[in-house]
């Protein structure tokens, strides 16, 4: 009872502080620590195990039907629209689509990598950028250190040092897309690009729902994520799959060695002291191997539940987004265009 009373008082005090300062109602440092101390990784691993369990054919129409109705699943687009085809919930979550139901916009320089909701988009030229309106995160904490000593010693801000072009003709942009539980869970390449580094931050497995993203500053820097950095025709490009509560794992098809949502024991409330703790893999360094690169619309990987894709990229200053915050978007639809280009 005492803990509940204390929690209610803390919640009200933080609400009053935010109102006095004219800021969005976000979590206090104490609330953030309490939330991060919940056994969400253990819960997520248990859910992943349960979702992978074999489901008898007689139960599939009831379980999958309930899930479809609850989360508004459009099974008519699936390659296999019959419930009986899927041996487990995990297979149902990651169902492939029929050929041709997602058309890739060949005219757009950048297309949506996933079905989902646009949480936020815009400039990423400052050290703090928005994850949703009014709630920010650090671009340096999110990506980790700069790739080269030359970048670090350039004297430019972190965001500016990321850029491949130094003639002032380009800008950094970001786009955040949230995949709900009922969405198509596979994700694709939004453009033609070549990754050079993969970083895996073990992090937390906090919820990335729009409500939590609007409540917890720095959420994307706290969570487990798989980040690929490289280059596209306009300069720097990064593609990040962010883990979340109940995401059994994040799978990248070209990266068989990647293992997410690892068992770390019952270390509830114990977290890495720095967001810079990560595993790094240099890609395309062996001349004897086929280069790892993506074409626009290529299949990249899958979430074993809903989660989030974050794009951070360099583009000409006359790049304009074709989207609005909160809208639903599908794989292959245009994210933006370059004004004046054909």
SS3 91: helix
Residue 19 has what pLDDT? 55
Task: State pLDDT tens for residues 218-254.
Answer: 888 888 889 999 999 999 999 999 888 776 578 888 8
Which residues are CB-contacts of 177 (< 8 A; sequence separation ≥ 6)?
Answer: 112, 113, 114, 116, 117, 118, 119, 308, 309, 310, 311, 329
Q: Measuring CA to CA, which residue among 104, 40, 77 is closest to residue 183?
A: 77
pLDDT in tens, 189-215: 999 999 999 999 887 877 888 788 777
Q: What is the 8-class DSSP label of residue 95?
A: P
According to the model, what pLDDT value does residue 273 have? 44
Question: Which of the residues 32, 112, 115, 334 is marked catalytic?
Answer: 115
Residues 59-88 have a mean pLDDT of 94
Q: What is the pLDDT of residue 45?
A: 77
Give the C-alpha separation, 209 to 215, whole Å.
Answer: 10
The terminus-to-terminus CA distance of the chain in angstroms comes to 65
Is the pLDDT at 149 greater than 50, yes or no?
no
Is the CB of residue 113 less than 8 Å from the CB of residue 187?
yes
Report residue 127 as tokens: 């050290």
Q: Find, among 116, 71, 75, the residue nearest to 95 by Cα.
A: 75
Q: Which is the catalytic residue, given 120, 185, 188, 200? A: 188
- Give me the pLDDT at residue 6, please: 46
Q: Give the mean model confidence (pLDDT) for residues 68-96.
A: 93
Among 333, 69, 303, 296, smallest CA distance to 188 is for: 296
- Rounded CA gap, 236 and 229, in Å? 8
Q: How far is CA 104 from CA 73, 125, 205, 296, 339, in A?
A: 21, 28, 31, 8, 20
What was the pLDDT predicted at 5?
A: 47
Question: What's the pLDDT at 46?
Answer: 82
- Give residue 160's pLDDT: 85
* Catalytic site includes residue 209: no
Q: What is the pLDDT of residues 89-113, one digit of tens each?
A: 989 989 999 999 999 999 999 999 9
Rounded to an integer, what distance in angstroms lies between the CA atom of residue 118 and that of residue 108?
Answer: 17
Pick from 166, 138, 173, 171: nearest CA to 150 = 166
pLDDT for 13? 56
Q: What is the mean pLDDT of residues 325-342?
A: 90
What's this model's pTM, rounded to 2 decimal places?
0.87
Contacts 24+ apart (CB under 8 A), 161-167: 162/236, 162/312, 162/314, 163/235, 163/236, 163/314, 164/231, 164/235, 164/236, 164/314, 165/235, 165/314
Mean pLDDT across the chain? 83
User: Is 32 one of the annotated active-site residues of the chain?
Assistant: no
pLDDT value at residue 152: 61
Tally: H helices and E strands in the chain: 10, 16
Position with higher pLDDT, 127 vs 180 = 180
41, 45, 51, 52 alpha-carbon torsion, rounded to 10°: 150
Q: What are the Cα distances from residue 116, in Å, to 62, 101, 112, 182, 240? A: 25, 15, 9, 9, 15
Q: Which two tokens stand for residue 165?
A: 């072009």
85 in catalytic set: no
């Amino acid at each position: 009872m005492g803990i509940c009373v204390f929690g209610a008082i803390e919640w009200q005090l933080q609400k009053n502080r935010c109102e006095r300062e004219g800021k969005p109602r976000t979590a206090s440092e104490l609330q953030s620590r309490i939330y991060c101390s919940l056994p969400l990784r253990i819960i997520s691993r248990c859910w992943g195990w349960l979702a992978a369990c074999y489901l008898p054919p007689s139960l599939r129409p009831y379980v999958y039907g309930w899930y479809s109705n609850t989360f508004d699943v459009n099974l008519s687009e699936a390659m296999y629209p019959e419930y009986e085809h899927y041996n487990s919930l995990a297979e149902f979550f990651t169902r492939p689509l029929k050929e041709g139901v997602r058309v890739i916009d060949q005219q757009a320089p950048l297309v949506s990598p996933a079905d989902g909701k646009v949480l936020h988009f815009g400039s990423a030229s400052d050290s703090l950028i928005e994850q949703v309106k009014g709630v920010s995160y650090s671009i340096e904490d999110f990506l980790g250190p700069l790739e080269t000593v030359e970048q670090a010693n350039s004297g430019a801000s972190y965001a500016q040092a990321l850029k491949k072009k130094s003639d002032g003709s380009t800008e950094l942009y970001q786009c955040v897309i949230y995949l709900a539980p009922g969405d198509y869970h596979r994700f694709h390449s939004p453009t033609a690009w070549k990754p050079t580094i993969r970083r895996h931050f073990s992090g937390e497995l906090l919820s990335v729902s729009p409500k939590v993203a609007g409540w917890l500053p720095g959420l994307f820097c706290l969570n487990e994520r798989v980040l690929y950095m490289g280059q596209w025709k306009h300069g720097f490009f990064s593609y990040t799959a962010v883990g979340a509560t109940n995401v059994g794992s994040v799978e990248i098809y070209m990266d068989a060695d990647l293992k997410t949502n690892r068992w770390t024991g019952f270390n509830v409330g114990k977290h890495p002291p720095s967001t810079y703790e990560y595993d790094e893999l240099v890609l395309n360094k062996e001349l004897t191997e086929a280069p790892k690169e993506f074409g626009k619309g290529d299949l990249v990987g899958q979430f074993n539940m809903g989660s989030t894709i974050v794009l951070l990229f360099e583009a000409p200053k006359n790049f304009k987004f074709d989207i609005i915050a909160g809208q639903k978007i599908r794989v292959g639809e245009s994210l933006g265009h370059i004004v004046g280009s054909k």
